[in-house]
Structure 1
Amino acid sequence: MAENEAAAAPEAAQAPQIKMNVLTQYIRDMSFENILAQKGVQGEVQPDVQVQVNLDAKKRAADNQFESAIKLKVTSKAKGTEDTLFLLEIDYVGIFSIEGIPDEQLHPFLLIECPRMIFPFLRRVVSDVTRDGGFPPLNLETIDFVALYRNELARRQAAQTQNGAQKLDA
């Protein structure tokens, strides 16, 4: 048993200690347009809600500080007529102190783990804004940030492949 513990000790010593703290989070930009109220639509309306998600991350000037942003565009349209009921655009940002992550793992960490940490707070803001705007509160479904990240990598790879093919044709 002592041999197993001794063998495990060097591995534990080599593993980096990851430290992450959410320093702050805030709404950088937000717009809510209640088009239903502006147009004065009458009668019962069945909403069809579309949510677009974009992620962004960057290094800040301070050591070990990074910014991770979730940008949402929520469009609610009336089923059948396709009249827009409301439009919500929000850019929600978290500032993080991150240490101990290897450089090759930092990009996915900033675009997967950091958004995962701030998403519940963004969900609450969206719910409150839609409720205060005169609609039922919109409770966003959980977002699969891993799938979003993989889709973006695949999209970039396809764009690079297509650009390379276009250069060869020219």
Structure 2
Amino acid sequence: MADEQNQAVPTFNIQRIYLKDLSLEQPNSPQVLLENAQPQVDINLTLAAEPIQEGLFEVSVTATVNTKVNEKTLFLVEAKQAGIFEIRNIPQEQLEGILGVVCPQMIYPYLRAIVSDVCTRAGFPPVLLTEVNFQAMFEAQQQARAQQEAGQQPN
């Protein structure tokens, strides 16, 4: 009977947070470094979550920072920070929110630090990723998914 009670208890634990992938490219160096124009910085974030095994999920946040000067790439940084989370006995509708909001919020500060550090070590000013409202992102994705499903249904 105690085993049955333990199985029903909601569980959320961080197993590990780690850097999964990191890339830095400076394809036009050193010539582009001599240009005095203001760089254009484009930042793209992507989230992913997938089950590893029963009750364990890998959640990752990837930042791609593409910096150009006069249409030439100054540098490109891509960093993927990930975490393994134990999540058990959570209703499906809550699980999606945990994977899409709570876990990325825990991972993101590590990603911000890594991107800033890599830029600095590459000889550039640090790129400081802004705070992200993962709740708003998640809600927008849910709304877009609902609209897409409603649009695909036959009338």
Name the TM-score, length of structure 2 as normaliser: 0.82
* CA distance in structure 1 between the partners assigned to 2:111 and 2:150 by the alignment: 35
Q: Tell me how large the CA RMSD over aligned residues is.
A: 2.2
* CA distance in structure 2 between the partners assigned to 1:125 and 1:132 by the alignment: 10
Structure 2 unmatched ranges of 5 or more: 1-7
Q: Secondary structure at the match of 1:60?
A: strand
Residue 56 of structure 1 pairs with residue 45 of structure 2: no
Q: Secondary structure at the match of 1:156?
A: helix
Q: Does the 8 Å contact 2:19/2:80 carry over to 1? A: yes
What displacement does 1:119 show? 0.8
* CA distance in structure 2 between the partners assigned to 1:32 and 1:164 by the alignment: 44
What displacement does 1:89 show? 1.6
2:57 to 56, 66, 69: 66
Paired residue for 1:105? Answer: 94
Letter in 2 for 1:65: L
Paired residue for 2:38? Answer: 46
For the pair shown, the structure with the greater C-alpha radius of gyration is 1
Letter in 2 for 1:95: I
Letter in 1 for 2:19: I
What displacement does 1:54 show? 1.1
Paired residue for 2:3? Answer: none
Structure number with higher strand proportion: 2
Residue 77 of structure 1 pairs with residue 63 of structure 2: no
Q: 1:74-119 CA distances to partner (integer Å, 9 max, x unpaired)? A: 11122xx232211112222110112342222101110100000111
Structure number with higher helix proportion: 1
Would the alpha carbon gap of residues 64 and 86 (structure 1) be closer, same or farther in structure 2, given more than 3 Å must change? same
Identity level (%) = 33
Q: Where do 1:83-162 residues align within 5 Å?
A: 83-162=72-151
The aligned length equals 148
Paired residue for 2:27? Answer: 35
Paired residue for 1:11? Answer: none
After TM superposition, which residue ranges in structure 1, 4 or more long, deviate above 6 angstroms? none
Letter in 1 for 2:37: V
